[in-house]
Amino acid sequence: MSTNKRCLRVVAALVLTGVSFAVVAAEVPASFDSKNCKAEYPKASLMNEEQGTVSMSFLVNADGSVADSKLDKTSGFKNLDKAAIKSISACKFKPGTKDGAPAQTWTKVDYAWKLD
């Protein structure tokens, strides 16, 4: 019976170690090149001299395409928010990784609309 208790302790230790390892798994979010991925200023926003920064999140697939997007913080102007999400969603991202392999990950993007 003492042999069975010893085996159970070893199994329990291995299970707990496995759980700890899973929590520490390395994840790197996706990214994109803002120089090659620009949104076109909405005409109505230009005429109204609207400016602001849109904060968004994108779910990026392992192939770099966007699977989903959401608005985290508005610029204060609906046209700017819509244009940013539409344009950035069409961009090709560098995929994120989990444990060193390309994987679907969420990433945050801030897009600043500024008039010169």
Convert the pLDDT of each residue in 67-106 to its tens digit. 999 999 999 999 999 999 999 999 999 999 999 999 999 9
Q: Is the distance from CB of 69 to CB of 57 less than 8 angstroms? A: yes
Q: Encode pLDDT of 25-56 as tens digits.
A: 588 999 988 888 889 999 999 999 999 999 99
Give the pLDDT of residue 4.
Answer: 43
**Is the pLDDT score of 13 beyond 90?**
no
DSSP 42: P
Task: Find the angle CA(42)-CA(46)-CA(52) to the nearest 5 degrees.
Answer: 80
Residue scoring higher pLDDT (13 or 40): 40
Task: Find the angle CA(88)-CA(94)-CA(95) to the nearest 5 degrees.
Answer: 105
**Is the pLDDT score of 19 beyond 50?**
no
Give the pLDDT of residue 8.
Answer: 33
**CATH code for the structural domain at 27-113:** 3.30.2420.10
Beta carbons within 8 Å of 94's beta carbon, 6+ residues apart: 30, 31, 32, 33, 64
Q: Where are the domains of the chain?
A: 27-113
Residue scoring higher pLDDT (34 or 112): 112
**pTM metric for this prediction:** 0.75
Distance CA 110, CA 95 (A): 18
